[in-house]
Amino acid sequence: MGRSSTSLFTLFMIYCFGAVSISYAQTVDKVQVTGHVHETKQLEPTEERLKQLRLPQGFQIAKFALLSNPRIIALTDDGTVYVSQRQPGTVSMLRDTNNDGVVDVQKVVAEKKDAHGLVIHQGKLYLATVKEIFVADINKDGTLSPLKTLVTDLPDGGQHPNRTLAVGPDGWLYVSVGSTCNACREPNEESATLLRMKLDGSGRQVFASGLRNTIGFGWHPVSKKLFGMDHGIDWLGDNEQNEEFNELSEGARYGWPYVYADGKISAHPNPPKEFTPEMWKRMSKEPTLLYTPHSAPMQMAWYTGTMFPAEYRNDAFVAMRGSWNRTPPSGYEVIRIRFNRNGQPQKIEPFVTGFLLTGAGAEGHFARPVGLAVAKDGALLLSDDTNGVIYRISYGAVAAATNNFVPVQVKPAQLFPPTITSALPELASVATIKVTSSFFPSNGAIPQEHSAYGQDLSPTLKWSGIPAGTKSLVLMVEDPDAISPKPFVHWLVANIAPTVTQLPAGLPKQEQLSQVANALQGANNMSTIGWFGPRPPAGDLPHHYHFQVFALDTILDLKPGYNRQALLAALSGHVLAKGELIGTYQRK
């Protein structure tokens, strides 16, 4: 949900003092409206918190991938996952090559500032930023051809800059363009609309208007009717405006900003002089279903897989990112929209809840859902852009239950451990390698030039004490002080020759390192290859960066773009010795 200018003071209070609940009253046309700013505290997605999630019986949820700021998700027919990362402005490719439900290959395949909307159609990936649309061919290895520009002049972003894309049954590209404001008369007729255009960007036209911010939309698999879920107006109170589920028709108007929900007149702006509010109401199409106000609907996905029970087929799921301006908070969940056999929506109900924790002294959230897509195997993928997690929701073993909702079954903790020791217990008894750097002492400050705020150069590292029988070395650098993902992976290098005793500074960000006997670099948690320097938030206490070197009795068989999970699985049982150097970095 967007922030209006009336909330600047309360947003300043949140910035200064953290999660707060503030209310104020305003009078508009003799209507008393009470609004709140109620931001909940961000919490870590610990194993115990995951166990508190509630899903229908037989469903499980587990972490699928860790990467920075995952937003919109799209998949190819072969199961390759693409996810936009608005910050840092990239698109990453993810693959689970061994089908164990956890990503083991991830790499950045495109870079564009404010990358957001994604859709895949006929072997091409379409990408939307705030004002631009691009297209690229998808190569056999999952990488992309250079991005080709289709559109450069979408409306300004304003309050709702996050464009989303879909290709309709008519073969046209549809683009959701949110409003620039909370409730106002837009100067640009393309704002607060659903646009459509030909696949080459030509023939652009307004398909539907009066839509404040319809991020999730799509065509029902049976009826082929177009539906979308729109964000309601802010500052009408805790219980106004409901989120709207609309059947979207060509040429139709959906009320915003003068009419909302089931024909209610907005207390904020007035229609153009030639119209009365009642006239605007009669010209506007009412929503099909309504849901809890301020829940903030995001990506929508039709369930067309076969993993879930048959009753779920052709229903819709919507990620609800969660409120910032409601008491009590709403959203922070995944909802299910039930349809009948003819493709008509019937009702909305919770599907995954529990990301929001409430109660005295315990209120907070450990996920703000955004992206939603059906994987090749029929599982549901869900992104959380705050803690940097993509979850996999699957159906399988039946769990004991006394009602329709049961605690979720979670994969073992060692899949995403906070430390290497918990993943590899054998490290407690292996030999010790001495690791040093000429750039910083043990527990000393890492120079600015090696941080992501500086020149982002990898530092020189040296080591000694490699035992006999070593076939290869591995380097892993991670930050366990990071909030998300935890730990944050900054550097992975595998298959370093056992005769190598140091790495030079400023190694290139490429997979094969010719400077180090063709050692193979993996993906950090920015999904880029090679070194990504420290980048802790300003004001944090110093973060500790663990430079870990492992001596192995084997050469690892890793795929290009491998991540931490794949590396841990490969080296398990092969570690002969381990050494560690810890450096610190703080952004003042």
SS3 of 452-518: the string is CCCCCCCCCEEEECCCCCCCEEEEEEEECCCCCCCCEEEEEEEEECCCCCEECCCCCCCCEEHHHCC
Nearest to 407 by CA among 415, 399, 417: 399
Q: What is the pLDDT of residues 47-69, one digit of tens each?
A: 888 988 999 999 999 999 999 89
Partners of residue 128 on adjacent β-strands: 117, 133
How far apart (Å, rounded) are the C-alpha atoms in residues 246 and 262?
11
Side chain identity, residue 510: Q
362-385 b/e with 16+ CB inside 10 Å = b?
A: ebbbbbbbbbbbbbeebbbbbbbb
Asked whether residue 569 carries a pLDDT value surpassing 50, the answer given is yes
Confidence of residue 293 (pLDDT cuts 50, 70, 90): confident
Whether residue 422 is predicted with pLDDT greater than 60 in this model: the reply is: no
Judge whether residue 29 has pLDDT over 80: no
Q: Are the C-beta atoms of residues 55 and 61 closer than 8 Å to each other? A: yes
Sign of CA dihedral 523, 526, 531, 537: negative
Q: Other CB atoms closer than 10 Å to residue 412's CB: what's the count?
A: 9
Q: Read off the pLDDT of residues 503-541 as tens digits, 9 standing for 90 and up.
A: 999 999 999 998 888 899 999 998 889 999 999 988 788
Cα–Cα distance list, 235 to 32, 256, 424 (Å)? 11, 14, 52
Q: SS3 of 288, please?
A: coil
Q: What are 452-468's pLDDT values in tens digits?
A: 999 999 999 999 999 99
What global pTM score does this model have?
0.81
Residues 334, 301: Cα–Cα separation, whole Å? 11
28 versus 434: which is more confidently predicted? Answer: 434
Query: Stretch 140-147: mean pLDDT, rounded?
Result: 95
- Six token digits for residue 283: 């010209």
Q: Is pLDDT larger for residue 15 or for residue 74?
A: 74
User: Strand 316-320's sheet: what is its strand order?
Assistant: 297-302, 316-320, 333-339, 345-352
Residue 371 contacts residue 382 (beta carbons within 8 Å) = yes
CA distance 524 to 567: 12
Q: Are 586 and 536 in contact (CB under 8 A)?
A: yes
Among 329, 339, 335, 333, smallest CA distance to 349 is for 335
Q: Is the pLDDT of residue 432 over 90?
A: yes
φ and ψ at residue 17, rounded to 5 degrees: -120, 0
Tell me the pLDDT of the chain averaged across its residues. 87
- Give the pLDDT confidence score for residue 27 in this predicted structure: 40
Q: Judge whether residue 494 has pLDDT over 90.
A: yes
d(CA 497, CA 502): 11
DSSP state of 253: B
**pLDDT per position as a tens digit, 165-224:** 999 999 999 999 999 999 899 999 999 999 999 999 999 999 999 999 999 999 999 999
Q: pLDDT digit string (tens) for 476-489?
A: 999 998 877 888 99
* pLDDT value of position 261: 86
Q: What is the pLDDT of residue 220?
A: 97
Helix (H/G/I), strand (E/B), else coil: 382: strand
Phi, psi of 278, deg, nearest 5: -65, -40
Confidence class for position 19, pLDDT limits 50, 70, 90? very low
pLDDT at 16: 37
